[in-house]
Structure 1
Amino acid sequence: MKRPGPLLTLLAGLVLGLFMLTLNATSGTKTASSSYREESPSASPKTPPTPSATPSTSPTPSPSPSKPPVANANYAGRTDDDAASVAVSVRDGKAVAYFCDGRYKEAWLRGRVNNDGSMKLTAPNGAVLDGKIEQGKKIRGSVKDEGRPYTFTADKAVKPSGLWRATAKVRGAKIDGGWIVLPNGRQTGIVTRDGKTASAPRIDPETGTVTVDGQQLTAQPVTP
């Protein structure tokens, strides 16, 4: 009897290989991809929002109170060279002044008074008064008239002293008179008759009466 040859051995090996392959496919093996579960990336912790800084508000400084207007008052005095008188009446931040030498030189001046008491008054004839109220008691300043300065001091005056004026028609002539009555009773005044100046007669400061060219007139205290 002949022994099986190499062909038979090869065939037996092939059958065994097919059997093992079939067995492996039947049982199956899980792949790494099927057993791996991808974990979702953990969320990064949220950073809490930084609270916005509240802007510091410094208190608005209150405006410094302005000086109140100067008080209403009358002032009267003489120039430093005693050549003329000056009277000033202050009312509600305005002033009227009269500069008079009692013979031929005179000027009516007007303007505003600043809260610090300073003033610059002007007249139609070009005269200028620069002055300042000092502690409500007096006015120091100067009057420049026809190019010449006259420094003066006018103390606070109480009626009947102060500034007076009268206007009227007397015997067909236009009369304009101005008087300054000083606290010591001294008077300085000029009466203008149709543009011609002369010394004024005395006035009664208690009543304001004065006689001009034989006619009695009534002067009034002057205010702005």
Structure 2
Amino acid sequence: MKRPGPLLTLLAGLLLAMFMLSLNATTGTKSASSYQEPSPSATAPTSAPPTSTPPSPTPPTPSRSAAPDADYAGRTDDDSAAVAVSVRDGRAIAYFCDGRDKESWLKGNVKDDGTMKLSGKHGAKLNGTLEAGKRIRGTVDLDGQRYAFTADKAIRPSGLYRATATVRGAKVDGGWIVLPGGNQVGILNRDGKPSAAPRIDPETGAVTVDGQTLTARPVTP
């Protein structure tokens, strides 16, 4: 009787081959099913939203400071008269005086740039410019004449003074300019009649008019 050896060996080989094919098929399916395509949101790089650069702020316009409070006194360029100006809170009052019979009180505003246009009686005008808070240069128009002047910053007792009173029945109105160095220029009106004014004591303002003691006080706007 013949052995079935070769036939059994062939049959065993076929069964092993079928088992390996079945195993490979199962493994491939599982591998394919376990793989997932990455979602676009997961793979796409995150980009920051566009930012707009804010416009640069417009620098503020520098403001000019108001003219400082101060007093100024000086003489006209032809040395024929004196001029004093008192500045307070953007206002100014000025006095032009030749020490004999010509005078004028003027007032008005001072702009932030230091320019001023002051006016007085009978069309009198003063146009001036404050220079770095140290002096005022300008002109005075009075009685058809123009007088250029320079008035430097004055330190008390230099400056502008005035006294009004009734003396022996007469109305008295006096104005004084005390210049740097102590010189004085002034006019005293008695009932509207001008004459050279007596000297005042700059420390106290005391002045004697027709035997009566008056007090001349600093003038401010």
One fold, TM greater than 0.5? yes
Q: Does 1:211 align with 2:208?
A: yes
Query: What amino acid does structure 1 have at the position aligned with 2:158?
Result: S
Point out the structure with max Rg over C-alpha: 1
What amino acid is the match of 2:193? K
Q: Does 1:183 align with 2:180?
A: yes
Counterpart of 1:223 in structure 2 is 220
* Structure 1 residue 155: Cα displacement: 0.6
Alignment partners' CA distance in 2, 1:172 and 1:54: 86
Specify the alignment match of 2:81 in structure 1. Answer: 84
Name the counterpart of 1:195: 192
Q: Which residue of 2 aligns with 1:113?
A: 110
> CA offsets, 1:111-166, max 9 Å, x none?
01111111110002211001111111111111010111000011110000100000
Per the alignment, residue 61 of structure 1 pairs with: 58
Output aligned runs, 1:41-190, within 5 Å.
58-190=55-187
CA drift at 1:215: 0.6
How far the C-alpha of 1:61 sits from its partner, in A, is: 1.2
SS at 2:152's partner residue?
A: strand
What is the rounded CA distance, in whole Å, between the counterparts of 1:193 and 1:125 in structure 2?
20
Q: Where do 4+ consecutive residues of structure 1 move more than 4 Å?
A: 53-57
How far did 1:63 drift?
2.8
- Percent identity over the alignment? 65
- Aligned residue-pair number: 173
Separation in structure 1 between the aligned mates of residue 54 and residue 94 of structure 2, nearest angstrom: 52
Write the distance in 1 (CA, Å) between the matches of 2:119 and 2:51: 58
> Partners in 2 of 1:123 and 1:55 — Cα distance?
61
| Structure 2 gap segments, 5+ residues each | 1-49
Q: Which amino acid aligns with 1:164?
A: Y
**Whole-Å Cα distance in 2 between the matches of residues 78 and 124 of structure 1?**
21
Preserved CA contact (<8 Å) 1:84 1:102:
yes
Structure 1: which 5+ residue stretches go unaligned?
A: 1-52
* 8 A contact 1:107–1:125 mirrored in 2: no
Shift of 1:59: 3.7
Offset of 1:55 from its aligned partner?
8.1
Hey, which of these two has a bigger chunk of helix by percent?
A: 2
Within 2, Cα distance between the matches of 1:186 and 1:195? 25
Q: Which amino acid aligns with 2:154?
A: A
For 1:150 and 1:184, how far apart are their aligned partners in 2? 22
SS at match of 2:113: coil
Question: Structure 1: how far apart are the matches of 2:99 and 2:123?
Answer: 19
Cα drift, residue 65 of structure 1: 2.0
Aligned residue identity for 1:123: G
CA–CA separation in structure 1 for the residues paired with 2:51 and 2:98: 72
Report the AA paired with residue 221 of structure 1. Answer: P
Query: What letter is aligned with 2:184?
Result: Q
Amino acid at match of 1:215: Q
